[in-house]
Structure 1
Amino acid sequence: MITELRPAAERSWQLLADRAGTEPDPRKRANLEIVARHVREEVRGDVPALMETLVPQPVYEVWGASDSVGPKGYDEVKAFYEASIAIGKNRLEFEISNVLVEHDTVATEGIFRHAYTGELLTSRGFAAEDEVEPAAWYLVEYRALIVWPIDVGGLIEGERMYVGESPRILRRLEPGECDHLGPPNRG
């Protein structure tokens, strides 16, 4: 489901857009712009537009606190994003604190924020059953660094995500609070 971008989500990656707007080198500016477009389309849930930012056979790697391996190839990456959209994980904040850009790489560091149910938190081992209510929604965050390799044609070759910690539960969300996070129909 494609959704509109909410200002709170867009503000979280403003540093990336600002950096693109001030980059004098055309190749570096294009790299920043393709990463910004990728993030925007992911949060909107527009899988075809998102996949257009990637090379035909992208490779994703996840390192650190996550036990995820990462999808490889067009079909796996597309399925990864479709699964993310199904649970609302794509509707996120990525509060970027650092951006580095070279002619073949962009790196972004910051805090990811999501809305997860208590059930998801316990099923993935992020919380004990007595810490959360299964049907309640919780604001979670974790620090991560993403390295975005860019091919000579200007498309993203995948993501190398370095996750420094498991999602931390910040608080239970009240109905309507942070409604830009999680599924669009979250209560």
Structure 2
Amino acid sequence: MTTATELHPAAKASWKLLADRVEQERDPRHRANLEVVARHVEEEVRGDMDALMATLVPEPQYRIWGASSSTGPKGHAEVVAHYQAMFDSGKSRLEYEVTRVVVDDDTVVTEGIFRHAYTGATLAGRVVAADEVDLERWYLVEYHALVVWPIGADGLIEGEEIYAGEPPRIVRALEPGECPHLGPVDRS
């Protein structure tokens, strides 16, 4: 089980637009919808399973469209397993540079760039040919995505509809100690 971590300022700054929208929103229902999504993003990045699952309905439904081959987890057990795998691999320790936020009574939509630290071994054969990366080295990767967050009448997130506009692309190799908030806590 992964222990929750403190938020790195660079991670938190990446979703500043979402946090700003929470503060600016005057409609109580819209503000509550934005708050639950902001809390969900923060708890995912922190790796706090209990707090993360508290933002979701009991049986959430996820769908992943586009560049991913995954259809997304369905139901409580699959969603917990999905997030635990993200926590264990360090994939949840990310930046989500939110560039657009739309809200209504039943939905929040966020759009932006996800950034992760992946090893060359993770990227080999999936994103690039194995001979194009150092399998032991860490790389900064990013991809553009849009997330639709349906919100139930109880104010909890019913799941996520993730539209990945592209597969992860390598931005650059990371130097040791660079971007310590991305990837596993013990990444070197």
Query: Which TM-score bucket, shorter chain as reference?
Result: over 0.9
Q: CA RMSD of the aligned region, Å?
A: 0.6
Q: How far is the alpha carbon of 1:127 from its aligned partner?
A: 1.4
Q: Hey, what does 2:138 align to over in structure 1? A: 137
Aligned residues: 186
1:116-154 deviations in Å (ceiling 9; x for gaps): 00001115x111111111110000000000000000000
Distance in structure 2 (CA, Å) of the matches to 1:159 and 1:173 = 30
Residue among 58, 61, 76 paired with 1:59: 61
Distance in structure 1 (CA, Å) of the matches to 2:124 and 2:143 = 16
AA aligned to 1:164 is: G
Distance in structure 2 (CA, Å) of the matches to 1:170 and 1:24 = 38
Distance in structure 2 (CA, Å) of the matches to 1:39 and 1:150 = 14
AA aligned to 1:91 is: R
Structure 2 residue ranges without an equivalent (≥5): none
Residue among 118, 121, 125 paired with 2:120: 118
Q: Indicate yes or no: 2:9 matched with 1:7.
A: yes
AA aligned to 1:165 is: E
Distance in structure 1 (CA, Å) of the matches to 2:39 and 2:81 = 19
Q: Hey, what does 1:164 align to over in structure 2? A: 165
AA aligned to 1:67 is: S
Distance in structure 2 (CA, Å) of the matches to 1:105 and 1:62 = 17
Is the partner of 1:8 in helix, strand or coil?
helix
* TM-score for both structures, normalised by structure 2: 0.98
Q: How far is the alpha carbon of 1:7 from its aligned partner?
A: 0.3
AA aligned to 1:47 is: M
Is the partner of 2:111 in helix, strand or coil?
strand
AA aligned to 2:27 is: D
Q: Hey, what does 1:96 align to over in structure 2? A: 98
Is the partner of 2:184 in helix, strand or coil?
coil
How many percent identity over aligned positions? 64
Is the partner of 2:146 in helix, strand or coil?
strand
Distance in structure 1 (CA, Å) of the matches to 2:44 and 2:136 = 25
Residue among 89, 95, 105 paired with 1:87: 89
Residue among 32, 40, 48 paired with 1:38: 40
Is the partner of 1:78 in helix, strand or coil?
helix
* TM-score for both structures, normalised by structure 1: 0.99
Distance in structure 2 (CA, Å) of the matches to 1:40 and 1:59 = 20
Structure 1 residue ranges without an equivalent (≥5): none
